Amino acid sequence: MSVIGVLTAGGDCPGLNAVIRGIVARAEERDGEVLGIKNGWEGLMQGQTVSLDRDAVRGILTRGGTILGTSRMDPYVHGDGYASCERTIKANGIDSLIVIGGDGTLRSALKLSEEGLPVIGVPKTIDNDICGTDMTFGFDTAVGIATEAIDRLATTAESHNRVIVVEVMGRTKGWIATYAGIAGGADAIIVPEFEYDIDDIVDTLRQRHRKGIKYSIVVVAEGVKPPPGYEPAEHKKDAFGFDRLGGVGYLVAAAIEDRTGFEARVSVLGHVQRGGTPSAFDRVLATRLGVAASDRAIDGESGVMVALRSMKIESVPLSEAVDSIRGVPEELFRTASTFFG
Ligand code: F6P
């Protein structure tokens, strides 16, 4: 009987539980066994495990978060790679490991597979920035939440003749900002991939005012550079050493208000985009990825990630997935910018 270990690492994401459920259900159908590893890589290094069968995953399809817990620990940052995980793997007879995670997690998954452990990756992030897959689960849910927020903010902005800057997640790439901005009819969108000039944005808002439209919605990804002359506060670091982002929207709003005199308010959506139940699209995608990952693990594949490609689930080399971080294509951003102003 094949024993599959499964862990969720990095930031959580709606749909993680649906993936776990898919892995367990398919494994049970094929007489495999699944061992949940708690708290991401930390649990693998420290031997924190829980046995998962079909009954253990009933009712979790619709639940946000991850029943396994997650952490920002990493075996190559906080340990010696495979050597730090070997005890748990041997003690539990784990034949292969399914790793559900984002860019950093998949990078470590690739390294472990290169050290000889059979590993299957499942791409996860609300940021939608992983190469080799058309989309990541969690993204659709996050875009839905951000779009609803924009819709709500637009009506109050209009009532009060205000500019509202909506800050969404997106550390290095602006997928959520671009999609939610298009879906919510944003008057300007600022993303890390493309340089922006705050004076161009101000011109756009002034033009709206001249036409008698005295409110505007500006969507900003959290990872953009602040306008020149507006210094960000020192960010605290997470366990990976990355900046804990959040707040650039205030600097963009200040620059707009200082230049125009228009009242500019800010709404930072933050973790609300990552919490709660996944959308139907994400439930289906996550389920398909979980089932496919289970199949790949039982079939003895390794060093690959299951991915959505042209509506099909395919295996992609992990090396391709971590090659770079996937940004918003220019053509898509141009579509968004057609509606600015
Ligand atoms: O999952 C990726 C992400 O959503 C980034 O967009 C964001 O910067 C980060 O997570 C925040 O993570 P944390 O939960 O550690 O604050």
Ligand 1 atom, smallest distance to 169 CA: 6
Same fold for the pair 3-138+278-321 and 139-275: yes
Q: How confident is the model over 256-274, as pLDDT tens digits?
A: 999 999 999 999 999 999 9
Residue in 95, 127, 129, 282 annotated catalytic: 127
Mean pLDDT of 199-205: 98
Token pair, residue 87, equals 């005890």
- pLDDT at residue 19, as a whole number: 98
List all residues 6 or more positions away from 83 whose beta carbon is below 8 Å from its beta carbon.
Answer: none
Please give the distance, rounded to the nearest whole angstrom, from the Cα atom of residue 11 to the centre of ligand 1.
6
Mean pLDDT of the chain: 97
Element (H, E) at 316: strand 312-317
Mean pLDDT of 266-293: 98
pLDDT above 90 covers what percent of the chain? Answer: 95
For ligand 1, mutation pick of 74, 124, 127 (most atoms within 8 Å of CB): 127
- pLDDT at residue 200, as a whole number: 98
- pLDDT at residue 238, as a whole number: 81
Q: How confident is the model over 12-70, as pLDDT tens digits?
A: 999 999 999 999 999 999 999 999 999 999 999 999 999 999 999 999 999 999 999 99
Name the residue with higher pLDDT: 241 or 223: 223
| Residue 287 beta carbon below 6 angstroms from any ligand 1 atom | no
Please give the distance, rounded to the nearest whole angstrom, from the Cα atom of residue 169 to the centre of ligand 1.
7
Whole-Å CA distances, 250 to 164, 167, 184, 283: 10, 9, 20, 34
Cα dihedral 168, 171, 174, 179 sign: negative
Q: How confident is the model over 59-108, as pLDDT tens digits?
A: 999 999 999 999 989 999 999 999 999 999 999 999 999 999 999 999 99
Mean pLDDT of 156-174: 97
- pLDDT at residue 239, as a whole number: 72
Q: How far is CA 164 from the centre of its chain?
A: 24
CATH topology of domain 139-275: Rossmann fold (3.40.50)
Helix (H, G, I), strand (E, B) or coil at 5: strand
Please give the distance, rounded to the nearest whole angstrom, from the Cα atom of residue 28 to the centre of ligand 1.
33
Ligand 1 atom, smallest distance to 274 CA: 4
Ligand 1 atom, smallest distance to 11 CA: 1
Query: So where are the chain's domains?
Result: 3-138+278-321, 139-275
200 in catalytic set: no
Whole-Å CA distances, 275 to 66, 72, 141, 188, 269: 10, 17, 9, 26, 11
Confidence category of residue 167, pLDDT binned at 50, 70, 90: very high
Per-residue pLDDT at 220 exceeds 90: yes
Q: How confident is the model over 108-153, as pLDDT tens digits?
A: 999 999 999 999 999 999 999 999 999 999 999 999 999 999 999 9
| Residue 238 beta carbon below 6 angstroms from any ligand 1 atom | yes
List all residues 6 or more positions away from 261 whose beta carbon is below 8 Å from its beta carbon.
Answer: none
Q: What's 185's DSSP letter?
A: T
Confidence category of residue 245, pLDDT binned at 50, 70, 90: confident
| Residue whose CA is at the smallest distance from ligand 1 atom 16 | 244
341 burial via Cβ count (<10 Å: 0-12, 13-18, 19+): middle
pLDDT above 70 covers what percent of the chain? Answer: 100
| Residue 9 beta carbon below 6 angstroms from any ligand 1 atom | no
Separation CA 125–CA 140 (nearest Å): 10
Strands 312-317 and 304-309 turn out to be antiparallel
| Residue 221 beta carbon below 6 angstroms from any ligand 1 atom | no
65: left (phi over 0), alpha (psi -120 to 50) or beta: left
Whole-Å CA distances, 264 to 163, 180, 238, 256, 257: 5, 20, 30, 7, 6
Angle at 197 (CA atoms; ends 184, 143), nearest 5 degrees: 25
| Residue whose CA is at the smallest distance from ligand 1 atom 1 | 11
Please give the distance, rounded to the nearest whole angstrom, from the Cα atom of residue 26 to the centre of ligand 1.
30
- pLDDT at residue 116, as a whole number: 97
Domain 3-138+278-321 is found in CATH 3.40.50.450: yes
- pLDDT at residue 209, as a whole number: 96
